[in-house]
Structure 1
Amino acid sequence: MGIFDKLKTAIKGNADAGVENFDNILQKTREEFLLTSSYFYDPSINKLSVYVDIVGKWENSKKIDFAVYCIEKICSNATERWGGPHNRIYEENQLRFAYIKQIFRSKLTIKGSDLKRIIVAIYNGTNKNKFNFQDWSLAFLLNQFSKQQKDHSVDQEAREALTVLKKHLESTASSYLEKEKTKLLEKIEDLLFEKEEGNIRSVLFLGEDDFTPVANSIIEGLQDRERFLWYELIAKAQKATGAKPSKKYITEAKAVITDLGTDKFKKTVQELFTTLINLKETVTEHRHNYSGAEYVYIEAVFLSSLNTEALKGLVWMCSLFHDQQTIQTISKLGDRCFKKIPQKGPSAPGVGNACLYTLANSKGLDGISQLSRLRLKIKQNNTLKIIEKYIQEAAAKHGVTTHEIEDLAVDDFKLKEGKREWNVGDFTAVLHIAGVGKSTIVWLKEDGKEQKSVPVVVKNKHATLLKKIKDVQKQVDQATSTQRDRFDRMLRSNREIKLEYFKERYVEHGLLGWVTNNLIFNFIGDDITIQAIRSKDKWITATGDEVNIEQYTQVSLWHPAVSTTGEVKLWRDYLIANKVLQPFKQAFREIYLLTEAEINTRTYSNRMASHILKQHQYVTLAKGRNWTARLIGAWDGGDQDTASLLLPEYNLRAEYWINALNADDAFNETGIWNYVTTDQIRFINTQTNELVDLIDVPAIPFSEALRDVDLFVGVASVGNDPTWRDSGGLPAYRDYWQAYSFGDLSEVAKNRKEILTGLIPRLKIANVTTIQDKFVVVKGKLRTYKIHIGSTNILMEPNDQYLCIVPDRSKKDNTGNIYLPFEGDNGLSVILSKAFMLAADDKITDSTITSQINR
């Protein structure tokens, strides 16, 4: 006789007791439910008076009798959970399922014999394939039971029941419930485990992914006591649910970590997180045949849902620590988890959100600094809202603005004037910021002479300090890039600060002092404002006059949109004459002033309308500039979108209308349109939600919004793609490609033209290079070439034959030694690279280019 037959024989129960009463309860429940709804799909009965006043007040044993009654009735007259005709039987069974769920999830004392009755009623040999464990709310039942068995082993009756349940779960295949089934089996294993002193059950990572084997080998490689405590931590981590941990969760985790030892915990958790940071997605190709056709799709898996919960719990536990290494690792992990998997989304958003929580709740401001960095890298709109919320909460907690909290959070890395020194044995290491995201480490001997590489003695005897120096270098490079982008966006706000704050937080700050060194600032007094730039600890105007800034009280970043053309030209001439490199475009920033046409249209601008953009590229650019934008596709409501940019300092929201370009079924395998067309730009008052006349929009937000949109068009337009026409593109829209590729110059291109006009005469190719209208004209040895200053596309004389040259991003930019007054215009570098190459066209060896030139 098998174990299941023994259970049936052992359990008689009182099958008929109270059945008539239970039938009456169900009838009353149905009548009351119909008073408010006729929809019986997964009904809720917890607020019905039948439950509140009668069933909910029953004693424990009667509730279990009623649950068993419901199970047996369902099994006797239903074939499946949701299918079949929606008749009286269906409606009553849905109410029975609802009662089972409500009873199992409410406070209930369950003995071993009770568990036996319930399991036997469910798996009675006739209905085992009709319903799954989730239909019976078994997770709720076992949660109740396990809480009551926390400190002792289960009795024999419960053990037999759990063994039957385990057998049925293991024999059931249900891919969409795999996570829930695995968790339920883990709970059963925990209940069946003999809880005796010195007997420790191993708890490891459960998910089916590439992280599990590596992570489990790390845990299994620990010493016994350490490994046993990690089993406890993993079990705790696997219970991580919700958006943030409870105080109880963190307290319980802290007790185990304290027992383990903080350093040991950090060492192992760092190893686990580093494994995940370096983990690549597993890509599987699936093929299916349907109606004679083969369909292929690619599935990319990074982290299973089971391991997502476990890692989320471990990340939460790290909110107990506030050291640089932990915060840096959590930030890197968050960055990795929000990395997008094509056609799927963020790799592991659950773990990523846990990283944001931990950074926001770390002591001090290092975590906020990392949130500020992530805000500039992450593209998902909902994630950006979470980061913004955390930064606002931190600002409110410290009684400062969000700008100020981000200022305060910037580490100076003990830099002085962009440098830091370490004494390492007989050598001195000097870290020097060389540019945005770039720094160098120079090794000096005792006599001050430079050592070309890291000294061998330093590698051998000072490896720990060497690693620390290199880590600082990475952090400095990361910080200069982050702060450059932050100050660039700050130009939108026209923020004013006090002079003393400016000197303390910017000028005298080790890192921000370098970032702001070549920027132009407004110094504001009672009745005068003057612009100045720092040069060798002095403040100089565009005409070279020295300024005593102490006579001014307020400071702001200078924006060329609110200056005259003459003032802007003076600053541009000053930068070029003194070879000043700005970290982003400030003096040479494109300015967008209101046109006559926009005054006439009054509430909207068509300046950036009627362009064809590559949708994925456009959305990535928009999100990178802090716009809210989404991908649209061939589904209901997927034919248009409105990208928007909040400008809170002005109570404005800029909007850019986007429409799907439905031509030749130009969408990818997920239904997302390959191309979109552009429409109007508008401004909305965020307080009244009304359209604002363009003439009433301040110059700075107007110029900045249009500058962003010009960037989207300038980069994502199909007119910029030299291969679009030849590779097919959209035949009906080739005229647009031709018009954009060689048409009028945008503001960005006009700016390039101005820079090139002053730059080309100083280049080696000056004698064969000129600027003519919209083109940089290069006279090569074989032909003459016209490089369009906007699109960077090329025509060849005498017949304006198109020359297709695709820039090789893997090759080093050969314009690196050419002085440019700002960083960040890739198009300018492409034009110069092409000009240098074409000036020596007789030395080109690439057959894809020479075949066109010699045609």
Structure 2
Amino acid sequence: MNTADELSHEGRSALMRAAAELDTQYDVDGLIRIADRELAEGRELPGLFVAVIRRSQLTLWNGASRLGALVRRIPGPVLNPGEAWSDQALKELDGLGEDWHRLLAHAATATATRPTAKWEEAGRTLIGAVGADAARERLLSWLPLVGRPRTHPLHLAYEGSYANAAFDAYNANALRGITWLLSFLPARAESARVLGALVETALRKVPGLGPVNPKVANAGVNALARLDGEAALAELARLATRVTYKGTLKLLNTALDARAEAMGLSREEIEELAVPAYGLTEVGRAHHRLGDATALVVVHGAKAQLSWRNAAGKEVKSVPAAVKRDHAEELKELKAAVKDIDKMLSAQSERMDRQFLARRTWSYDTWRERYLDHPLIGTLARRLLWTVDGTTVGFADGALRTLTDDPVTGGGDVGLWHPVGDEPARIVAWRDWLERHGITQPFKQAHREVYLLTDAERATGTYSNRFAAHILRQHQFHSLAAVRGWRNKLRLCVDDEAPPATRELPQWGLRAEYWIEGEGEDYGVDTTESGSYLRLRTDQVRFYPIGAPENWAHCYGGEYRMWLPDDTARVDPIPLAEIPPLVLSEVLRDVDLFVGVASVGNDPTWQDGGPEGRFREYWTSYGFGELSQSAETRRTLLERLIPRLAVADRCTLEGRFLHVKGERHTYKIHLGSGNILMTPNDQYLCIVPKSNPSSPQPGYLPYEGDRMLAVILSKAMMLADDTKITDPTILSQL
């Protein structure tokens, strides 16, 4: 670009087109020369060229000092083109007045954590100029487009750039400003809904980068915290169960704690009261009359279904034309509510699954109001088992009932039942009771794995090696640990230390630790491009008092040592025999889940043992070895499910495997990993499951959420009819 002064306008245009293809332009002087010459000749700079100038100003180390003055002189466009949402906004702005341009230009100046009083005053004035309702309508129509693929993909200026996966840096500031502007408007359910979705979009993980844009996510949370009303509180509570990024989760917790304090409630109570009914008028059901038609919303399991009946009461397959014509807004809100129900059901199921260690109890009347009879939560609560004054009960045939189906109509204290405190015979009896009443639990409760102290753990005393020596995919483990309430630090292949993965249990005064270390030392093979380990090696599980100093170890391994501030005495781990059985069981269940989901032994493509074959022995021992507690639970369930399958006569359970007799071979599917061996020589068969395997319908299932069960069943159904397999990758192995 050094010849800009000597080039004609056509030559400069060619250079501008070339520059516009880049995410960042390092030739700052060239950018300035071209822009100065074009502006001096009275020409408007192309929007995509302006975009690269702005991105360079924001991302280069000397961008602010070298390009700041030029950026301030450029009259527009008000947003950088190249993203779906900004393109739509720029298109609509062509038909709007200058007040709209001023509003978005103001939004683009949102570079702080929160709006200052001066920024807010100016924003409110600009909203007044365009009208509050118009501002809300337009802003909310653009935000759902955020996160879609770039409309103008960029050539990356350097290897490792994530510009095509991330938000445009200039537009990201505008997004922050838009969230602030929405928080100045009167609260509406749609505003809360769209802001919540934006938070999730901005935290979407990009391999090698991490969350797309935490600053935009944090702005969305701050905007929700400023909004009054049930809808905003519901979004904050929902996001608190879904978000794992520490900075944003901290903001969510702060916002919820502030709401709780303002209302004189506990954090647990505010989370319970934050769940809306979403228009449901009874547990899991609602009728909405729209003209002569009736919309019926019914919750089935983890999903809400919307169906329609015409004026005669006859069910119709699609939305009646009169509803689309005369009730467009009500229809839009109804469809949005159905989507909200699905999101909230998932979030609340996860929240309740983590309640076993909360030691939470309710008065009977409060519990019925917030759980059993709540229009939404009731669809989950009525599929769980509870204790009323120490008596275990479930909900069936319109009433709470004991194991002998005697109705329970009142009581004092209510708690969530856990099998660790019950006799094995009664646990089995409750499983039979659930099946007899056709109840599918939202997560494992009656079939929940119970981890009791073993002789080996009594011998080691203060630590458990039950889940040591596993190789886990680090990023999958990290995400799952955060969902389960554990705190963890990604291990980088650098000279650094980190504490173990920890879960604090304040109700018990305990802290659980899972000791892990980075695996490998070959940069780029054992690490991502950014240097984080791809895999971890696991070690002990320990317990300490919650206030004890943390242990630390080098990221690539070595002995854990307790970091002791001055004058602080060393704190010994607590003997496992002193850990309450419920706590031990739930912590070890979490760790079993981490291993079961994140182990490389579950990867069917790792027959060669991964890099240089280093993990072949581990992959074989895990992929075909002894079953974990969760796999044993799966085996017990399959004993009841197999006879109901259409291919039952071809399936038998033997030890660790489900044997499936096909026409070409007999296959052995491991009940822990889902890996397959086939006759005659136990030859390995690699079948990579779909991301969301479609499992067969064996009839009744006692609980939801076991993905490996779905994988095993889908493989069994396919292999039992192996002459109909058409996938060339599979056929080449048969």
The residue type paired with residue 454 of structure 1 is V
Which ranges in structure 2 are unaligned for 5 or more consecutive residues?
A: 1-27, 33-52, 550-570
Map 1:132-171 onto structure 2 (within 5 A).
Answer: none
SS in 1 for 2:62: helix
**Contact (CA 8 Å) 1:205, 1:215: kept in 2 or not?**
no
SS in 2 for 1:223: coil
SS in 2 for 1:649: coil
TM-score, with length taken from structure 2: 0.84
**Contact (CA 8 Å) 1:685, 1:692: kept in 2 or not?**
yes
Match of 1:312 among 169, 176, 186: 176
Which ranges in structure 1 are unaligned for 5 or more consecutive residues?
A: 1-128, 134-168, 190-201, 289-294
**Contact (CA 8 Å) 2:652, 2:658: kept in 1 or not?**
yes
Question: Does 1:725 find its partner at 2:607?
Answer: yes
Separation (CA, whole Å) in 2 of partners of 1:671 and 1:598:
36
Separation (CA, whole Å) in 2 of partners of 1:817 and 1:465:
38
470 and 435 in structure 1: CA distance in 2 versus 1, 3 angstrom threshold: same
> Residues 128-168 of structure 1: CA distance to partner in whole angstroms, max 9, x if unpaired?
x99xx9xxxxxxxxxxxxxxxxxxxxxxxxxxxxxxxxxxx
Separation (CA, whole Å) in 1 of partners of 2:215 and 2:66:
20
Partner of 2:43: none
Question: Does 1:237 find its partner at 2:113?
Answer: no
Map 1:252-651 onto structure 2 (within 5 A).
Answer: 252-278=122-148, 280=150, 284=154, 286=156, 299-300=163-164, 302-320=166-184, 321-415=186-280, 416-436=282-302, 438-524=303-389, 529-548=390-409, 550=410, 552-637=411-496, 642-651=500-509
490 and 182 in structure 1: CA distance in 2 versus 1, 3 angstrom threshold: farther
Separation (CA, whole Å) in 2 of partners of 1:205 and 1:179:
19
Separation (CA, whole Å) in 2 of partners of 1:496 and 1:474:
31
Partner of 2:87: 214
Separation (CA, whole Å) in 2 of partners of 1:447 and 1:274:
37
Shift of 1:734: 0.8
Farther-moved stretch of structure 1 (662-671 vs 320-329): 662-671
Separation (CA, whole Å) in 1 of partners of 2:181 and 2:638:
55
805 and 272 in structure 1: CA distance in 2 versus 1, 3 angstrom threshold: closer
**Contact (CA 8 Å) 2:93, 2:100: kept in 1 or not?**
no
**Contact (CA 8 Å) 1:283, 1:301: kept in 2 or not?**
no
Shift of 1:377: 2.7
Separation (CA, whole Å) in 2 of partners of 1:491 and 1:501:
18
Farther-moved stretch of structure 1 (215-224 vs 484-493): 215-224
Farther-moved stretch of structure 1 (838-847 vs 588-597): 838-847
Q: Give the % identical residues.
A: 37
**Contact (CA 8 Å) 2:431, 2:446: kept in 1 or not?**
yes
> Residues 574-605 of structure 1: CA distance to partner in whole angstroms, max 9, x if unpaired?
12232211111111111111212222222211
- CA RMSD, 1 decimal: 2.8
Shift of 1:666: 2.2
Shift of 1:562: 1.9
**Contact (CA 8 Å) 1:615, 1:673: kept in 2 or not?**
yes
Question: Does 1:702 find its partner at 2:584?
Answer: yes
**Contact (CA 8 Å) 1:506, 1:516: kept in 2 or not?**
yes
The residue type paired with residue 294 of structure 2 is T
Question: Does 1:683 find its partner at 2:543?
Answer: yes
Separation (CA, whole Å) in 2 of partners of 1:188 and 1:840:
70
Shift of 1:432: 0.9
SS in 2 for 1:542: coil
Separation (CA, whole Å) in 1 of partners of 2:143 and 2:728:
47
Farther-moved stretch of structure 1 (677-686 vs 311-320): 311-320
**Contact (CA 8 Å) 2:82, 2:151: kept in 1 or not?**
no
> Residues 410-460 of structure 1: CA distance to partner in whole angstroms, max 9, x if unpaired?
111231121111112221111111220x22222112332211222233333
Shift of 1:674: 2.1
Map 1:97-136 onto structure 2 (within 5 A).
Answer: none
692 and 780 in structure 1: CA distance in 2 versus 1, 3 angstrom threshold: same
Separation (CA, whole Å) in 1 of partners of 2:199 and 2:331:
26
SS in 1 for 2:616: helix
Separation (CA, whole Å) in 2 of partners of 1:485 and 1:649:
19
Map 1:241-252 onto structure 2 (within 5 A).
Answer: 241-252=111-122
Separation (CA, whole Å) in 2 of partners of 1:298 and 1:253:
32
The residue type paired with residue 262 of structure 2 is K
Separation (CA, whole Å) in 1 of partners of 2:505 and 2:289:
47
Partner of 2:40: none
Aligned length: 657
Separation (CA, whole Å) in 2 of partners of 1:299 and 1:261:
35
**Contact (CA 8 Å) 2:644, 2:698: kept in 1 or not?**
no
Separation (CA, whole Å) in 1 of partners of 2:648 and 2:123:
69
> Residues 23-49 of structure 1: CA distance to partner in whole angstroms, max 9, x if unpaired?
xxxxxxxxxxxxxxxxxxxxxxxxxxx
TM-score, with length taken from structure 1: 0.72
Partner of 1:841: 722
**Contact (CA 8 Å) 1:602, 1:695: kept in 2 or not?**
yes
Shift of 1:612: 0.9
SS in 2 for 1:644: strand
Partner of 2:628: 746
The residue type paired with residue 517 of structure 2 is N
The residue type paired with residue 93 of structure 2 is E
The residue type paired with residue 368 of structure 1 is L
Partner of 2:511: 653
Separation (CA, whole Å) in 2 of partners of 1:519 and 1:779:
37
Partner of 1:671: 531
Separation (CA, whole Å) in 2 of partners of 1:659 and 1:687:
23
The residue type paired with residue 338 of structure 1 is L
SS in 1 for 2:477: helix
The residue type paired with residue 827 of structure 1 is M
817 and 566 in structure 1: CA distance in 2 versus 1, 3 angstrom threshold: closer
> Residues 25-83 of structure 1: CA distance to partner in whole angstroms, max 9, x if unpaired?
xxxxxxxxxxxxxxxxxxxxxxxxxxxxxxxxxxxxxxxxxxxxxxxxxxxxxxxxxxx
SS in 2 for 1:655: strand
Separation (CA, whole Å) in 1 of partners of 2:688 and 2:104:
51
**Contact (CA 8 Å) 2:82, 2:150: kept in 1 or not?**
no
Shift of 1:786: 1.5
Shift of 1:379: 2.6
